[in-house]
Structures are given as C-alpha cells and as structure tokens.
A and B are shown apart, each in its own frame.
Chain A
C-alpha cells in the first residue's frame, strides 16, 4: 500500500477530561486531505475511544495514523497493564474503570465495542503487565 501521510501523536495520561486532543487533530488533518465526512467521523470516534482508554487505564500512550490510497491504518499503543480477558473487554458494558472515572461519565464499557463498530478491521495485541497495542483499519477505496 502506498502511503500518503503519516501522523503521530502522544496521548497525555494525566487528565481524562482533556482526552480528545489527538482525535480532534487527526480529524482536522483528514478533513484537509479531503476524505469523506463519514470516514473521518468513524476514525475520529475510534481514536477518541482509544485515547480515553489510554488515559483511564494506561497513563497515556501513542496514536499513529497512516493514510493510504485504499485504507487508513490506526495504531494505538500503550505500556499499561494489558487486558487479561479481551473477549470480556469487547462486551458492551464491561469495564474495570474506577468509581472516580465513572462518576465523570467514563467507563461505560463502550470503548472497545465502539472502536470495532467504527472500523473495518481491528486487532488487539495485549500482554498483562506489558501493554496493549490496537491496530485498526478503515477502508477508503
């Protein structure tokens, strides 16, 4: 696949209320590149959910977006605690978020399901105590 643009963002893990910076920047870049609104919206939602997860669970991480002619690849990586049971984590409503996080409206257990719903491919690599990397693809052709 020929790549047109590569974007890299660091996700700050200190403040979950501030999450969304990377997704908003990515959204702006994709709009400048002229992608359809629906594609941009799906990617923005997927990255946003990833950002929230990285802030809540992993003290931040990185978001990389590789824009190609046929597809947009998104890689979200963190050095957090890992996901012990991915199948459970993929269930709507399942969350390990703290009470503090939930009281701010997060931790609804919709993050990973929303990411899957909005992308064409999604793969989770995770190891307890090491971290989690999520690869997602959205077809644009």
Chain B
C-alpha cells in the first residue's frame, strides 16, 4: 500500500507529503526515538505522539515510508518545514495511536 492510499483510507492530514508513492511495508509504534531507531524497519509507517523535529531525523535515518503523529498532538510550522526539506512524509490525525494502528492492521 502506498502512503497516499494510507492517507485516504485513514483520513490522515498530510502535513508534508513529498513522496505519496512510497510503499508502506510495515508499521511501528513508539514514543522513544532510541527504541524506534533500534527496532523500526525501513519502509514502515511510524505511529507516535512525538512531534518535535527529531521525528524527521529518525524517519530519514530509518528510511521510513511515513510518520503519523496521533492523538491530536499536531506539529508546528517549523517541524512541517523540516519534514518537507528532508523529504519526509508527515501525517497527522486526531485519532489515538491504538485506533490508528488497529485500522492499519486491516491493510498491512
């Protein structure tokens, strides 16, 4: 499934979507960057409540398909800009991490 399809199916808010064609191959949930760095896999959709600009760095380094910021945590203008600069797909939702993952599990 592509990131664009994920956006459409889950009704996510695409704060930055430079690569809608990226393939989502797995999912990862976590709010501690080091755990994520150690365990998330390339091509994953990362579900988190973290919303500082470090999420862009983690996404780039792991080569994630996208980051989904949940629970209405939202991101600042600055973080959205960093995501665009680093070519990171950054999506937001009001839904909880649990609900988001439960929906994703239907497709992945």
Q: Residues of A at under 8 Å CB distance from B?
A: 16-21, 23-24, 27, 37, 41, 44-45, 48-49, 52, 104-106, 108-111, 113-114, 117
Give the B interface residue count (CB, 8 A): 20
Contact of A114 among B37, B42, B50, B63 (CB under 8 A): B37
Cβ-defined contact, A114 with B38, below 8 A: yes
The smallest beta-carbon distance between B103 and chain A, in angstroms, is 23
Which residues in window 30-81 of B have CB below 8 A to A?
31-35, 37-38, 42, 50, 52-54, 56-58, 60-63
Q: Which of B32, B37, B50, B86 has the most CB of A within 10 A?
A: B37
A24-B52 CB under 8 A given contacts A105-B33, A108-B35:
no
Given contacts A17-B52, A41-B62, contact A106 B33 (CB under 8 A): yes
Residue of A nearest to B82 (CB): A18
Q: Is the CB of A18 within 8 A of B63?
A: no
> Are A20 and B35 in contact (CB-based, < 8 A)?
no
A24 touches B60 (CB 8 A): yes
Q: Which residues of B contact A37 (CB under 8 A)?
A: 42, 63
Across the interface, B37 reaches (CB within 8 A) one of A16, A21, A49, namely A49
Bound Cα distance from A17 to B35, whole angstroms: 16
Interface class of chain A by DSSP: helix
> With a CB–CB cut-off of 8 A, which chain B residues contact A110?
32, 34-35, 37-38
- Residues of A within 8 Å of B63, CB to CB, are 37, 41
Nearest Cβ on chain A to B64's Cβ, whole angstroms: 11
Q: In angstroms, how far is the closest chain B Cβ from the Cβ of A49?
A: 7
How far is A17 from B54 in the complex, measured between Cα atoms in Å? 5
Assembly CA distance A44 to B64 (angstroms): 14
B61/A27 in contact, CB under 8 A: yes
Shortest distance in angstroms between B7's beta carbon and chain A's nearest beta carbon?
A: 24
Which of A18, A44, A52, A117 lies in contact with B33, CB distance below 8 A?
A52
A21 to B82, CA, bound (A): 11
Q: Which residues of A contact B33 (CB under 8 A)?
A: 52, 105-106, 108
B42 touches A19 (CB 8 A): no
Bound: A44/B62 CA distance, A: 9
Could you list 30 examples of A-B contacts with CB < 8 Å? A16-B54, A17-B54, A19-B57, A20-B54, A20-B57, A20-B60, A23-B57, A24-B61, A27-B61, A37-B42, A41-B42, A41-B61, A41-B63, A45-B61, A48-B37, A48-B57, A49-B37, A52-B34, A104-B52, A104-B54, A105-B31, A106-B34, A109-B34, A110-B32, A110-B37, A111-B34, A113-B38, A114-B37, A114-B38, A117-B38
